[in-house]
Structure 1
Amino acid sequence: MPETRSLVVDGDEIVFDEWTSANAGGVGTDWLLVHGIGMGRVVFRDLAERLAAAPGNGRIVAIDQPGFGDSPDPQRARTMAETGDLLAAFVVEARLSGAIIVGHSMGTQVVAEAVRRHPQLTDKVVLIAPTANESERSARMQAWRMLQDLAGESPKVLAIGMWQYAKAGPLWFVKKLRLMLAHAIEDVLPRVSAQALVLRGETDRVCPHDWCQRVADLLTRGELREIPDRGHEAMIKNAAPAAALLLEFASRRRV
């Protein structure tokens, strides 16, 4: 079971869960997991437990961004770049420098900004279901694609989504959505120097293949891998395929 803690960073409280790998006694590769809009650290529970059970890993930390999950509402709504700065400050406070940083959905935008603006944080990142597709960057299109993606989704994914969206509340969600859609991740990616793994569920309607390939191509050291039989959630229903790809990526020599 993880230990739940919190840190106050730049005036905002960030709640997080931390697992320590029993195999390495807390010494090894550290991981930082950053959720997407409307979600919280709970979406990473299965993935985090699989990483903690794997040999060679150290600390696995999954955060609730301010205003999501159990983290209180922030003092103000931050842009993606400002949220990246907040994440970078959290990395320092939590002593996670060098951790592989994983973002999902909107979390990919935060992670990209964090490592662009603070390249010393890490030399490896994972971008799962990167948003937002530049050809469909509107609230209407994103909502429509998400509805298409959720059609036929598992009860587990639907239940977690409804619970987390309800906790965030509509007003904060809309504020953050506007900032998310105003952000052009394609302008940030070429300035990310870290090795980057881009992951996509092969049936993801929110992040189509061509868009995710463009994301990988824009990165200086990026590659795209796809997970069969997964949509935008990618690692919530069953994290085993995503965990295997993350562990393979972590095992590569850092260049």
Structure 2
Amino acid sequence: MSTPDLTPALDGDVLAFTDGSSTLIAEHAGSGSDAFLLVHGLGMGRSVFADLARRLDGRVVAVDLPGFGAAPEPRRPLTMPGHADLIAAHLVAAGVPPVTVIGHSMGSQVAAELAVRHPDRVRAVVLAAPTVDAGARRVARQALRFLRDTASIDPRVVARGVREYLRAGPHIIRKIRATVTHDPDEVYPRIAVPTLVLRGARDPVCPPVWTRTVADAIPRGEFAEIPGCGHETMIRDAGPAADRIREFLAGL
């Protein structure tokens, strides 16, 4: 297993956490009684949350999942439940109190699994640009949607995404397959904590009917749309999403 890069992305303390044959990178920044967990999407890493992390008032834990960002490649890509179990083990080991878990894209699937499999570790959930709707659980269909989204966003975001995808290594197709074969529909009705479902108003990856269906399926679900954003939602400009998250948490 290669040595992970522990360079800070959020100006926090970075450490590697290994459980079994899988290693994640966790960066801890900020302080306070509220704790936030940031889980990135497919082909990304914790660096995409730098802007959002600065806008959250509390302790922030951002992770690079195994095989993404600076985390070394696992023997085989983890399933969404596997990612959730690894994160939960880290939260326990690090003494992190129950978190508001914010998952973007594929990270929303991990966040949902974490809330269901480890409810004692989760206070609230934010599912940003949740994937994958039942009509698009195929690798080619998802790739086409991502290309449509990429064509409409800031070149700086594209450059960051390309860099992270290259770091994700030669197993990216296997990782995409692990994402699209996961069925989040079975998980959403079992989320017991308050949940905010966020969608960028111009997101071609997460259709509005799908995201509203996700919110409706969660017993304490709430839907909100961020104007002017595509699938990147919180990456290009985290301000509107951070404001909506704060409003959501203030009502708990």
Q: Provide TM-score, normalisation by structure 1.
A: 0.91
Long gaps (5+) in structure 1: 21-25, 52-56
Q: State how far apart, in whole Å, the 2-side matches of 1:115 and 1:11 are.
A: 23
Runs (4+) of structure 1 moved beyond 3 Å?
Answer: none
Name the SS of the counterpart of 2:237 in structure 1: coil
State the match for 1:195 in structure 2.
194
Structure 2 counterpart of 1:245: 244
1:70 is matched with 70
- Cα gap change, 1:95/1:75 in structure 2, threshold over 3 Å: closer, same or farther? farther
The within-5 A match list for 1:26-41 is 26-41=31-46
- Report the equivalent of 1:4: 14
- What residue is the counterpart of 1:120 in the other structure? 120
Post-superposition offset of 1:40: 0.3
| C-alpha distance in 2 between matches for 1:11 and 1:224 | 37
Contact 1:80-1:113 within 8 A present in 2 as well: yes
Distance 2:88 2:111 in 1: 9
Question: Is the contact made by 1:67 and 1:73 (CA closer than 8 Å) also made in structure 2?
Answer: yes
Corresponding residue number in structure 2 for 1:54: none
Could you tell me which runs of 5 or more consecutive residues in structure 2 were left unpaired when the two chains were aligned. Answer: 1-10
Quote the RMSD (CA, aligned, Å): 1.2
Shift, 1:233, TM fit: 0.4
Rounded Cα–Cα distance in structure 2 between residues aligned with 1:96 and 1:135: 37
Which residue of 2 is the match for residue 17 of structure 1? 27
Moved more, 80-89 or 100-109: 80-89
The one-character-per-residue Cα deviations of 1:219-238 (angstroms, maximum 9, x if unpaired) are: 01001101000000001111
What is the Cα deviation at residue 164 of structure 1? Answer: 0.2
Q: Distance in 2 between matches of 1:161 and 1:7?
A: 24
Listed one character per residue, the Cα deviations across residues 182-204 of structure 1 (whole Å, up to 9, x for unaligned) are: 11101110011111000010000
**Identity over aligned residues, as a percent?**
43
Displacement, 1:7? 2.0
Shift of 1:127: 0.4
User: In the alignment, which residue of structure 2 is the partner of 1:166?
Assistant: 166
Give me the whole-angstrom Cα distance separating, in 2, the residues matched to 1:49 and 1:12.
28
Q: 2:231 maps to which residue?
A: 232
Cα pair 2:67 2:77 within 8 Å, conserved: no
Q: Distance in 2 between matches of 1:41 and 1:15?
A: 9
Q: CA deviation at 1:77?
A: 2.1
Aligned length: 242
Distance in 1 of aligned mates of 2:25 and 2:233: 23
CA distance in 1: counterparts of 2:15 and 2:86, whole angstroms:
17
Does the 8 Å contact 1:202/1:228 carry over to 2? yes
Contact 1:29 1:99 (C-alpha < 8 Å) held by counterparts: yes
Q: Where does 1:51-200 land on structure 2 (aligned, <5 Å)? A: 51=56, 57-169=57-169, 171-200=170-199
On the 8 A contact 2:114/2:122 being kept in 1, the answer is: no
Separation of aligned partners in 2, 1:165 and 1:214: 29
State which drifts further: 205-214 or 74-83. 74-83
Matched, 1:47 2:52: yes
Shift of 1:143: 0.8
Q: Find the aligned partners of 2:27 and 2:105 in 1 and give their Cα distance.
A: 19
In structure 2, distance between residues paired with 1:252 and 1:224: 14
